[in-house]
Each structure stands twice: as structure tokens, then as C-alpha cells.
Structure 1
Amino acid sequence: MIKRISLLAALAFAACTPEPDRLALAQLDSALELRPLVSSAMVRTVSLPTYAAAEEIAVETGAGLIASNTEVLWADDPQRAMTIAVARNLGDILGIDAGPEPWPFLGLPDVSIDVRVERVLAYADGTFRLSGQFYVGGDGSDFRNQSRAFAISKPMPDLSLPSIATAQAEAVLTLSEEIAKTIGR
């Protein structure tokens, strides 16, 4: 009986706790247009560091530590959101069938893209940094396997959440353009 009352009290308390606000990754369009070397590309799920894969928005503190905002969360799973953004950007830039893993089309894609992020963070100095490495490989095509390191930095007017979301979207768009240059001209 006591367990039942404790469970009911916990559920009642949880129902009174307001849901945190959600912030969506901004969507930006590229002015870059390239002629594709392939007709299709699959973006594997983007690999993010633990702090960036969480719903909480991470920011570097002045002391060099990473703090998370628990009052405002990302609107979507960060890995999913970044994967979809890269695929959408590649499709727009190259005019090809680009999609996330699992591959949503029939047959195999001409290439697959694997993005491994080492750092994706808003810094106390007013910059947003995205760095890591991406790999482009031909899945049964004659496309030459390639790997490239990337280090992208975007200025932010302040450390507000909208500034962070916009800077992150700009960094993801720049990364998408770098990837597009490896599979287009």
C-alpha cells in the first residue's frame, strides 16, 4: 500500500513539472550548386560526442568545462537531426537522391558518407566549432574512397540559444558543402 501511494505521489509530482522548451536546429539553404559525380548518396548516422548526442544543449563555460542547459532541449535527437540536415543539404547542392541510413530508396546508393564528429560546441569566446572527419566510400561503384578532416568555426553574436542553433546550422551547412565538393564539381 505504501509503495502504491509513493508511486501515485511520484506520478502526481511528475505531472505538475512543466515540460522543458524545445529548440530546433535551424534549416539553411546553400547557394552552392555542383555537378554530381554520383547519382545517389546515403548519409550514415552522424556520430557525435556524448555531450552533443544528448537532448541538452551543451555550452563551454569560461573555465573550459562543458555545461548543459536542462531547461531548453533540442527539438529532435541531435544525431538524427544532423544526419537528416546533411542528407537534405547534399540533395539540394548536388541535385541527387540523398538520404539517411537506413537507405530509403530501392537498390544501393552510389556512395555512403560516414561523419565522425570530435567536437561540436558553442564556446564562451563566442565561436561555434564543429570538427572531425568524414569518409566517402563507393558501395559497389567505381567511386574512389576518400577521407577528409574538417574544422569549422562560426562566430556567434552572443551565447543565446537562438545564436547557438543558427551557428550550428551554419556549421552543418558548411560541412555539407565540403562533403558535396568530394562527390561533385
Structure 2
Amino acid sequence: MFKPLLLTVALTALAACSGPTNRVEMTPLNSTLDLRANVSSAIVRTVSLPSYAAAEEISIESPEGLITTDGAFLWADEPERAATLTITRHLNDILTATIGPDPWPFAGIPDVAIEVRVEEMLAGNDGIFTLRGQYFIGGDGIDYPNRARSFAYTTPLVGEGLNGVAQAQSQVILELAEDIARALSR
């Protein structure tokens, strides 16, 4: 009788001490682009993020210029996974090609691989969200000219608090996906 009661009390106490449960989801956006791809298929490799952006906690730049988080709010999904799936979805919507995330979910080998390496993804203390880095496109299943392109996107933080951060992050990821789509349609 006492063991189940002790177990219930212990589990309740443990749950009360566990981390934050407030989650913020990226705002879903849609592109207006509709492009004909010059490949039949492409894989989006897992997006590489800096450690502060890959963490579950939502990072922002403090007035002192430090990258901080209060730990009370988490992203709804693992940031690298969310960025990869969002770029994949946008490319599928924009292009006339079959686009899949890493690991490749289809039979065979994709024509090209897309790799995104982010150097900065941060809501700045100046009210601007920045996404900066490089993306690479190379032949995987076909002979395709390798391409490396730098990118830098900024957008103002609109809205209040972390919802504004989520909206801005969604906007710059959409812009990145649109640029990758343009590169695959030329």
C-alpha cells in the first residue's frame, strides 16, 4: 500500500522538477514560386546549425550582445530536423522534382544532394533575425556540376516575443528554400 503511494509521490515530484514544457512552433509559410527543376530528384541532407541554434532552447541576442536563453521555452521540434523538413517541404511545393530528406525515403539514388551549413541563425537585439551560411548542391546519382553558394537573409522581428522569433525564422528559411529552388531550376 505504501510502495504505490511513495512511487506516485516520487513521480509527481519528478514531473514537477522536470524541464520547461512551453513549446514554440515555427510558423508555416507557403511560397508563391512554381518552378521546373532541371533534376528529377534531390535529397536535403540534415541541416547543420551552430550549437546555440541546434539546441532545444530558443536563443536570442541580449542587449549586451550575448547569445542567451531563459530556458522557459523550447522549440516544438529539434531545430536541425525542423529546418531540414521545412526546406524539403518548400522545395517539394516549388519544384517539379521529387525532394526527400536525409535519410533518403525512396528507392534508388537521388540525382543531387543539397547540403545546408548555417553559420548564424539568431534573433538580434536590434530587432533583426539573421540566417547566414552556405549551401551546396552536387551530383549524387547523375553527373551534375557542383555548386557552392553563400547566403545571408535578414528580416525584422514582427509580433511579440517568441512568436515574432518563430515567424522571422520561418520567413528566412522560406527565402533560403526559394533560392535553392531557383538554383535547381536553371
> Any conservation in 1 of the 2:26–2:169 contact (CA below 8 Å)?
yes
Map of 1:64-103 to 2, 5 A cutoff?
64-103=65-104
Deviations 1:4-29 (A, max 9, x none): xxx99875432224742111111110
* Equivalent AA in structure 2 for residue 182 of structure 1: A
Task: Confirm or deny that 1:130 pairs with 2:92.
Answer: no
Q: TM-score, normalised by structure 2?
A: 0.91
Write the distance in 2 (CA, Å) between the matches of 1:23 and 1:153: 20
* Equivalent AA in structure 2 for residue 13 of structure 1: A
Structure 1 runs of 4+ aligned residues shifted over 6 Å read: 7-10
> Any conservation in 2 of the 1:137–1:145 contact (CA below 8 Å)?
yes
> Any conservation in 1 of the 2:53–2:121 contact (CA below 8 Å)?
yes
Which runs of 5 or more residues in structure 2 are unaligned?
1-6
SS at match of 1:57: coil
Write the distance in 2 (CA, Å) between the matches of 1:91 and 1:17: 42
SS at match of 1:161: helix
Task: Confirm or deny that 1:143 pairs with 2:144.
Answer: yes
Change (3 A) 1:64 1:15: same
* Equivalent AA in structure 2 for residue 116 of structure 1: R
Q: TM-score, normalised by structure 1?
A: 0.91
* Equivalent AA in structure 1 for residue 13 of structure 2: F
Q: What residue is the counterpart of 1:3 in the other structure?
A: none
> Any conservation in 2 of the 1:122–1:159 contact (CA below 8 Å)?
no
Q: What residue is the counterpart of 1:13 in the other structure?
A: 13
SS at match of 2:69: strand
Task: Judge which range, 105-114 or 151-160, deviates more.
Answer: 151-160
Write the distance in 1 (CA, Å) between the matches of 2:134 and 2:93: 22
Write the distance in 1 (CA, Å) between the matches of 2:158 and 2:28: 18
Q: What residue is the counterpart of 1:170 in the other structure?
A: 171
Q: CA deviation at 1:131?
A: 0.3
Q: CA deviation at 1:95?
A: 2.6
Task: Judge which range, 16-25 or 51-60, deviates more.
Answer: 16-25
* Equivalent AA in structure 1 for residue 33 of structure 2: L
Cα RMSD after superposing both structures: 1.8
Q: CA deviation at 1:165?
A: 0.3
Identical positions, percent: 49
Write the distance in 1 (CA, Å) between the matches of 2:42 and 2:91: 8
Q: What residue is the counterpart of 2:32 in the other structure?
A: 31
Q: What residue is the counterpart of 2:42 in the other structure?
A: 41
* Equivalent AA in structure 2 for residue 111 of structure 1: V
Task: Confirm or deny that 1:117 pairs with 2:135.
Answer: no
Task: Name the count of aligned residue pairs.
Answer: 179
Deviations 1:154-184 (A, max 9, x none): 1113561111001000000000011111111
